Amino acid sequence: MKKIYVYMMAAMMLASCTEKPENVTKVDKLPAIFPDYSGVTIPDGIAPMDFNVTGDDCDCVDVTVKGSKGGEVHSNGDYAKFDLDEWHSLTQQNKGGALTFTVCVEKDGKWTQYKDFTMTVSPYAIGDWGLTYRRIAPGYEVYGHMGIYQRDLSTFDETPIFDNLAAPGACVNCHTPNRTNPDQYTFHVRGEHGATVVHRDGKEELLKAKNDSIHGSMVYPYWHPSGKYCAYSTNNTHQSFHSVRSERIEVFDQSSDVFVYEPSTHQLILDSLLMTKDHYETYPAFSPDGRTLYFCSSTAEPIPSGYKDIKYNICKIAFNPDNGTFGTRVDTIFNARKMGKSATHPRPSYDGRYLMFTMSDYGCFPIWHKEADNWLLDLRTGKAQPMTAANSDNTDSWHNWSTNSHWFVFTSRRGDGLYTRLYIASVDDKGNVSKPFLLPQENPLDYYDKLLDSYNTPDFTTKPVKLDEREMGRQINSDNRTATKVR
């Protein structure tokens, strides 16, 4: 009997990959790895940057990571998998320095050592606890299992904030905290039991999804830094479907306006300058001082024939938070139409220096536009430029800033052209943008290969979001809604 155990142990040891590299052949090329972490900049304390060696099947991967300021971690196995605590110590020790990865791969008993690659550890901490995002299959009109989730950035832990298992048939979207603080957030529920959920003062309030005065639902939100207001757009959104292979969905508004909601009074603050008939106004965003409201505006064009002529500029209007009134003139701060382009989804950095937006050929929904790239507008100089280091040949869109404005998260289809994944990159004091890294996962190749969801509307969160899912599901199904009224 003992012999059997000995054989079993021996077999298990042979089966697992624990051999050390010997008689290594060095090659002068970088290892083919997934995700491409070579040359990226990471914050200290991020979850271990595990990776897989791709290409030909290999028997064993041996990785040594050395810090420029000291420290070392080692991994030996089927893929590069680092111990959580050791990894955290290494990144903390090397904050502002660099990590050098030495990758050796065994195949058919022969070891090959590839050219080392480095990863920069940013001097700027990420500052936030994690990310929030929606996960949903990249579909068309019908949705199945989906939900809003949160992810601890220092580990691989993901937990649901609200999963539609709790409210069958519901679709939730646009989870938006106030400047990454989940003490105040809003999200929408679509479907039979539609609502706009507003969480403040530790309570959730479910607003009627539609109000006749705004001719539609509350859609894209952005909180006022004071928490007294939340700006929304109201959009009459439609979608059509392309016939050629490289395109898929076209989402367009047949009308849209911007307004501000005051949660304490349930009042909607409307202004004729933000609700023009000959223009579509959408994607509102308050400046960090709360005295300016940015938004996108395009001339209204006939739909569907003129959908390619819908091109948005980024505009601004003054806002007085003391009494909730708007200024009397709208200024264009970035004229994308002049460039034959459309600028959407403006997101001012919380330090007030930059405004990030997405540039595409036309329309308000760049998420399905391959050419969509993120741009950075320096609010001090008024100059805008594409964030080349972070952009790709495929769709890059829907970005949000970290609390300290040194990091941003965005979605990209660069992986396989369909499933959006989350990427994080940094912006230094001089405005230099780093090469982004894919949200780390344990055994990432396996994880992302099996994941059949896209990530939507990511944002940072300073701490975990607390929501009683079942209670929220009950409230959604109850159809008790608070009506909004126009001030």
Partner 1 sequence: MKYIQRYWKIVVSVVFAIAVAVFWALPAVSLLSYHEQYQLFLFTADYFRERLAVPGGLADYIAEFITQWNYIFVVGAMLLALLFFVFQRLTWRIAKGEETADVWYPLSFVPAILMLAYMCDANVMPSFLVALVLVQLLMLLWQKVACGANSVVRVAFIVVALPLSYWLLGPVMFILAAYIFIYVLANKSRRLSPWIAVVAAIYAVATVLFVAQFRPEPLYRLFGGLNYYRFPAYIPWPQVGMMVLTAVLPFLLRLLPAAKAKIAIPIQIISVVAGGCALVFFSFRTIANEIIDYDYLVRMHAWGKIIEKAEKKQPTTPLEVSCVNFALSQKGQLCDRLFEFYQNGGEGLFPTFTRDMLSPISTGEIFYTLGMVNDAERYFFEAQQAIPNFRRSGRLCQQIISCEIINGNYSVARKLLHELSHSLFYSRWADERLAMLGNEKKINADPVYGRLRKFRVSKDYLFSDTEMDQMLGLVYTHCYQNRNAYEYLMAYELVQRDMTKFMEYYPIGRFAGYTDHIPYAIQQALVYDWTQRHGSFDGMPYSIEPQWQQLMVQFIQAYMSNRESPVLSTPPLSNTFWNYMLINKRKAKGTKKESKEVY
Provide the binding-site residues for partner 1, judged by CB under 8 A.
137, 139-145, 160, 163, 165-169, 188, 190, 216-217, 219, 235-245, 247-248, 250-251, 304, 307, 415-419, 449-450, 452, 469-470, 473-474, 477
The two structure tokens encoding residue 406: 């040194």
The two structure tokens encoding residue 248: 């898929």
CB of 49 to partner 1, least distance (A): 22
CB of 246 to partner 1, least distance (A): 8
Residue 72 or 446: the one with the smaller Cβ distance to partner 1 is 446
CB of 144 to partner 1, least distance (A): 4
CB of 104 to partner 1, least distance (A): 27
Note the residue count of the chain. 487
CB of 416 to partner 1, least distance (A): 4
CB of 243 to partner 1, least distance (A): 5
CA 148 from chain center: how many Å? Answer: 12
Q: How many CA atoms lie within 13 A of 348 on its CB side?
A: 29
Judge contact between 441 and 421, C-beta under 8 A: no
The two structure tokens encoding residue 32: 């083919």
Identify which of 40, 105, 114 has the alpha carbon closest to the alpha carbon of residue 75.
Answer: 105
Residue 358 or 475: the one with the smaller Cβ distance to partner 1 is 475
Identify which of 100, 101, 91 has the alpha carbon closest to the alpha carbon of residue 123.
Answer: 91
Residue 130 or 473: the one with the smaller Cβ distance to partner 1 is 473
CB of 379 to partner 1, least distance (A): 30
CB of 276 to partner 1, least distance (A): 20
Map 419-436 to HEC letters.
CCEEEEEEECCCCCECCC
Cα separation values, 27 from 75, 107, 112, 300, 406, Å:
20, 14, 7, 58, 36
Q: What is the DSSP letter of 139?
A: -
Residue 235 or 374: the one with the smaller Cβ distance to partner 1 is 235
Residue 25 or 239: the one with the smaller Cβ distance to partner 1 is 239
Residue 39 or 415: the one with the smaller Cβ distance to partner 1 is 415
Cα separation values, 400 from 126, 179, 286, 350, Å:
13, 9, 13, 10
CB of 252 to partner 1, least distance (A): 9
Question: Beta strand pairing status for 110-113 and 25-26?
Answer: parallel
The two structure tokens encoding residue 44: 């200290």
Give the sign of the dihedral formed by CA 305, CA 309, CA 314, CA 317. negative
288: left (phi over 0), alpha (psi -120 to 50) or beta: alpha
Residue 238 or 383: the one with the smaller Cβ distance to partner 1 is 238
How is 90-128 classified by DSSP, letter by letter?
Answer: HHHHTTTSEEEEEEEEEETTEEEEPPPEEEEE-SS---S
Q: Dihedral of the CA atoms 306, 308, 310, 313 (nearest 10)?
A: -160
Residue 245 or 277: the one with the smaller Cβ distance to partner 1 is 245
Residue 173 or 298: the one with the smaller Cβ distance to partner 1 is 173
The two structure tokens encoding residue 67: 């810090």
How is 442-453 classified by DSSP, letter by letter?
Answer: SSHHHHHHH---
CB of 32 to partner 1, least distance (A): 15
CB of 418 to partner 1, least distance (A): 5
Residue 167 or 384: the one with the smaller Cβ distance to partner 1 is 167
Residue 458 or 473: the one with the smaller Cβ distance to partner 1 is 473
Compute the distance between CA of residue 325 and CA of residue 332 in angstroms, rounded to an integer: 19
